[in-house]
Structure 1
Amino acid sequence: MTNWHPHLPEGKGPLYIRLADRIAEDIATGALGAGTKLPPQRDLAYDLGVTVGTVGRAYALIRQRGLVSGEVGRGTFVLGSNPGTGLEEDVKPDLDRDPRTVTGQAGTPAVSWLQGAMTPPRDTEFAGTRISIPAPESIRFDSTSAPEIGQAEAIGRLTADITREAPHEIASYTRAVPDSWRKAGRLWLARSGWEPSEGGIVPTTGAQAAIMAIIAATTSPGDQIAFEDLTYSSIARGAALSGRPPVQVARDDEGPLPEDLARVCAQKHPRLLFVMPTMHNPTLGLMGAQRRKDIVSVARQYNVSIIEDEVYGSLRNTDLPPLAALAPERTFHVNSLSKSVTAGVRGGWVASPLSHAQRVYTAHKMLTGGISFLLSELSARLVLSGAADEFREKIQSEIAARHELVREHLGTYDMNAALDAPFLWLKLPEPWLSGTFKAAAASVNVLIDDEDEFKSGRSDKVYHRVRIGVTNPMTRTETARGLAIVQSLLEDNGACYDSFE
C-alpha cells in the first residue's frame, strides 16, 4: 500500500468529484503507479476528514473512468496508464508532447485521453437505468432474479443430455416448435384450475421478449398502450421506443381503477392494457376477484386486449382465476422461469388467443432472431421433469427465510412486504427523498431502485418509497449485511444529506 495522501483542490463542485479528479491526476502524472493499492475507504475518509460515502463515490467514479479495478477482499488497485490498449503498464506519458504523437510499443496512441478531462477512453455502456457492471463489492438489491439454490447441477445434467441426444438441432437454427415445448408451457402457465390450450402456447426468450412480441403482433406504430401509473416500466419504455406511446391509468392497492381505465379508453383509445394482477411490481398488490371481472368488462366494452404478466405471480399461491380464464379471447398470459427457477436460462411462454398465436411467434422471431434450441429444450425439460416445481418450492422457502432478515433489520419501518415476494416496497422516513436515498445507498455500495424506476411516464405523484430486492445476493449473510447498511442509513436520518446531491 502506498503512503500517498491527496491534497484536495479548492472548488465549488461536489467533494467526491474533486477527490476523483485528484486521484486521476496523480495516476496520470505517475504519482500513483500501475498496481498501486489505494488506501481503504475508511482510512482515507479519516485522513481527509470526510465521510466514507464521499470516498466511496470518488472510488466508484474513477472505476467508471477505467483508472482502477476493485477486487473483493483485496482493495482498489491502479490499472495501467491506458487500460485496454494492450500497452505495457510501464509506458509513461510524456506530458510535454502532443498526446497524438506519444505511442506505446505497439505504435498506438498511448495518452490521447489526456486531452480534456484526462479520462481514458472506454466503451459506452448501454445499461438502461440500472448499473450493469457494479463495483465488485456492491450488494445488488436492484435485481429480483431467482436466488442461487443449487440449480446448476440439474441444469448441467440436462444440458449434457441435450447435447448428446440432439447435436444436429443444436448446430442448426430452430425452425419448428416441438410439442414438448408447448406441453411444458401449458403446465407452467396453468394456475387456479385454469389450463391454456397447447395450440396457443408460444415459447419465448424470457418474459420481456414475449411482451414486446405481443405488442408488435397486435399494434402498429402510433397505437397507444395503457399502463398503471406505477408498474414495471421497462415495458412502457420499450413500447415508447417502438413507437407505441404509453398512457397512464390511475391505480389503487388492487391495480388499475376500472373507472379511470374506462376514461382512458374513451379518450385515448389504447389497443392494449399491461397489468400484473397477482403480484404487482413494485407494490406487491393483489387484484381481487371483482376487480378482475371489472377490468375484463371495461376491456371488452372498448375492445382492448390485455397482457397479463405473471412472472412474479408464479411465486404466489392463490385461487383467484387469471384474466386469461375470464377473457381468453383477448388476454395474453405471460410467464417465465426467471423469478421462480433461474433467470439465466431465459425460458418463457405466452398463452395467446388462438387467433394470434402464429402472429406472436413470428413477431418474436423477427425481433429476437428466433429462439435458441438449447435453451428452449432445457426450459421444457426443467418443467417436464418436475425440477422447475422443486426449485420453485425451494426458492419460496429461501425468500421466506430472507424476509426474516428483513423483519430483523427493517421491521420497525413502514413497508409493503410478503413472505412470497422477492422484494419489498419501503416507505422512507423524513427527510429522505427516494432518489436521494438511492444515491446514499449507492455511495456505500448498496444498489436499490427508487420510485422513478417504476413510473410509466411523467407523474406528479410522490411516494417517498424505494424497492429493495432480497434474492440477488449470493447468500443470506450478504443479504443481512446489505440490510444492515440500509438500516444504518435510515437511522442516520439524513445526517450526511448534503453528500448525496
Structure 2
Amino acid sequence: MTWTPTLAAGREPLHERLLAALARDIETGALPPGTRLPAQRDLAHAAGLGLGTVTRAYAAAEQRGLISARVGRGSFVAGRAAPPAETMIDLSRNLPPMGRAEALIAQAVGRLQRRPDLITALAYAPRAGEMAHRAAMAGWLATACGLEGLGPEQVILCGGAQQGMALALGAACRPGDTVLCEEATYMGLKPLAQAAGYRLIGVALDSEGMDPAALAAAAKASGAKAVYLLPTLQNPTGRTMSPARRQAIAGTARRQDLWIVEDDVYGLYAGTSRHPPIAALAPERTFFVAGLSKLVAPGLRAGVVVAPDPAGRERILLALEGLYGAGDTFSRMIAAQWVEDGTAEAIARENIAEAEVRLAMALDILGPAAERPGGEASLHLWLPLAELEAERVAGRALRGGVQLTPADSPLVGEGTTRGLRLCLAAVRERGRLEQGLRIVAGALAGREAGETARV
C-alpha cells in the first residue's frame, strides 16, 4: 500500500509525530486492520524522513499494539488492540511477594498501641531519625547486606532507598555534575538525575556488571564526580559482582577520585552468591543505600543511608532538614519493631523462598532466552535482545495480555546491553505468572497470542 503520512507541526521529535499520524489514521479507518504498511526504507524515501525516524516510529507503534511485524512479510495494521488494563498480567513492577507482610501488618499496628514510646511518633523526629530506630536498622544492615560493625550514630534514616539515592547523590554532586552508572540501570535513577540536573553517562557491562576498565575510561573522559551502581542482582540484568570485581571497582574509584553510591536493596536474595558490599572495601568514599522495600514491603518506607565521612553525613542531614523535614516515624517504628523481633527477617526469608520458586519456573519456561541471574533467587529476570527486537517482543506480549517494562526505560546512552526485564513477584498467583511467562515465550518465538507453535 502507498501511505503518505501527514505530520502535524510541533516541537516533538519527528518519530513521535510520525507515530501520532499513524495512530490517527488507524483510529479514523484510513488504515484498516490488516493493511500492509510501506517498508521502512520506502516510507522514509517517500516522506523525506530519515530511516532511523521511521524505524523508531514503527517499533513504538508495535509496542502499543497498533501494528504487528512479520519477518520477511512486513508490517501490518493490527487486527485487535491490547486487552484492557484490568485483565493485564503485569510483569513490569519489581515488587516482592506481599502475602506474608499483608498478613502481619494488622498485628504490627495493634502492637503499636501498647508501645510506651507511641506518643513520640506524634512529634517531629530528629533529623537522622530516633536513635532506637537507627540502632535497629544498623542491625538490619548487618543481616541483610553484610555491612557489619556500624553504630547507630552512623545510620541515617530516610523515606526508602529512592530517597536515599537522592540524598547520597546530592551530598556527592551539584547540579550540572556528571554521574556514571550502568548503561542499563535502575530506571528510578533517570528521573532523579533529570530533577537534580545531573548528567548521566552509561558505563559498559559484562557478565558481572559494571566493567572497571570502562569505568576508568568514562571517568577520565567526563570528569565525573560519582558513580551509582548495584553490585548484587543488578537491576535490570540480575548480574552480581564477584569479590574480585568489587575490589577492582573500589580501586578504580580511588584512582579516579570518584564517590561511590552503592545500592544494595537485593543483597539477601543472592544467598550464597552474596559478597561483602563495596562499602566494606572502600568505606572512605562510599555512600551506602538500603531499605526494606524489596525484601519486606514496598509501602514500608524505611530506608537507610550511610555516609563515608562526617562532611557527607552533615550534607545529607542538611538536605533532610531543608527538603524533606521530619521523617515518617510510624513506618520507622513498625520497621524497627519487625527488625528487633525477627519478623522482618522471617518475611524476607519467606519472600526469598517464593522468589526462588518463581525464578525456577521462569527459567524452565523461557529456557536459553533468559539470562540466569547472579543469585539463588531474584525478583527480576533479564532477556538479552537487540533493541528493535525487544520492542517487538514487548508489543507481542502486550497484545497477548502481558505488560512488560518498556525496553528503553533502563537505558543510558549508546551501549550494547539491550533487552527486556521481567518482574516475577508482582503477580500474586503462580498460575497466572506461568500464563504470563508462556505468553512471553511465544512472543520471543515470534508468535502472537493464540497462535500455536509450528513443528
TM-score, normalisation: structure 2? 0.76
CA contact (8 A) 1:189 1:195 kept: no
1:382: Cα distance to partner?
A: 1.5
CA gap 1:303/1:492 in 2 versus in 1, 3 angstroms: closer
Q: Which has the larger radius of gyration?
A: 1
CA gap 1:287/1:180 in 2 versus in 1, 3 angstroms: same
2:307 to 336, 347, 352: 352
Match of 2:436 in 1: 482
Match of 1:461 in 2: 416
Instruction: Work out the number of aligned pairs and report it.
Output: 381
RMSD: 3.0
CA gap 1:462/1:292 in 2 versus in 1, 3 angstroms: closer
2: distance between equivalents of 1:495 and 1:341?
Answer: 35
CA gap 1:15/1:484 in 2 versus in 1, 3 angstroms: farther
Question: Superposition pairs for residues 172-251 of structure 1, below 5 Å?
Answer: 172-175=123-126, 177-190=129-142, 191-192=145-146, 194-251=148-205
2: distance between equivalents of 1:212 and 1:335?
Answer: 12
Aligned residues: percent identity?
26
Match of 1:43 in 2: none
- Structure 1 stretches of at least 4 aligned residues deviating more than 6 Å after TM superposition: 494-497
1:297-335 CA distances to partner (integer Å, 9 max, x unpaired)? 221223211111111223212452211111111111111
Is 1:314 paired with 2:259?
A: no
1: distance between equivalents of 2:316 and 2:146?
Answer: 25
1:221: Cα distance to partner?
A: 1.2
CA gap 1:277/1:370 in 2 versus in 1, 3 angstroms: same
CA gap 1:227/1:324 in 2 versus in 1, 3 angstroms: same
1:469: Cα distance to partner?
A: 0.6
Question: Superposition pairs for residues 250-399 of structure 1, below 5 Å?
Answer: 250-317=204-271, 318=273, 320-355=275-310, 356-399=312-355
CA gap 1:179/1:170 in 2 versus in 1, 3 angstroms: closer
1: distance between equivalents of 2:340 and 2:77?
Answer: 51
1: distance between equivalents of 2:280 and 2:114?
Answer: 39
Give the helix-richer structure, 1 or 2: 2
Is 1:56 paired with 2:81?
A: yes
Is 1:407 paired with 2:363?
A: yes
Residue 246 of structure 1 aligns to a residue whose secondary structure is strand
Worse-matched range after superposition: 161-170 or 274-283: 161-170
1:229: Cα distance to partner?
A: 1.2
Residue 252 of structure 2 aligns to a residue whose secondary structure is helix
1:264: Cα distance to partner?
A: 2.2
Amino acid at match of 1:392: A
1:467: Cα distance to partner?
A: 0.8
Amino acid at match of 2:292: L
1: distance between equivalents of 2:403 and 2:193?
Answer: 26
1:197-218 CA distances to partner (integer Å, 9 max, x unpaired)? 3222011111011100111222
Match of 1:148 in 2: 98
2: distance between equivalents of 1:324 and 1:185?
Answer: 16
1:379: Cα distance to partner?
A: 1.3
1:192: Cα distance to partner?
A: 4.0
CA contact (8 A) 1:16 1:55 kept: no
1: distance between equivalents of 2:166 and 2:123?
Answer: 25
CA contact (8 A) 2:205 2:417 kept: no
Residue 247 of structure 1 aligns to a residue whose secondary structure is strand
Worse-matched range after superposition: 386-395 or 220-229: 220-229
CA gap 1:305/1:427 in 2 versus in 1, 3 angstroms: closer
Match of 1:120 in 2: none
Match of 2:15 in 1: none
Greater relative contact order (Cα < 8 A, sep 6+): 2
1: distance between equivalents of 2:121 and 2:78?
Answer: 49
2: distance between equivalents of 1:494 and 1:485?
Answer: 8
1:87-112 CA distances to partner (integer Å, 9 max, x unpaired)? xxxxxxxxxxxxxxxxxxxxxxxxxx
1: distance between equivalents of 2:448 and 2:215?
Answer: 39
TM-score, normalisation: structure 1? 0.69
2: distance between equivalents of 1:227 and 1:358?
Answer: 25
2: distance between equivalents of 1:183 and 1:443?
Answer: 49
Residue 425 of structure 1 aligns to a residue whose secondary structure is strand
Amino acid at match of 1:406: A
Q: Which runs of 5+ in 2 are unaligned?
A: 1-20, 33-75
1:119-144 CA distances to partner (integer Å, 9 max, x unpaired)? xxxxxxxxxxxxxxxx1111110112
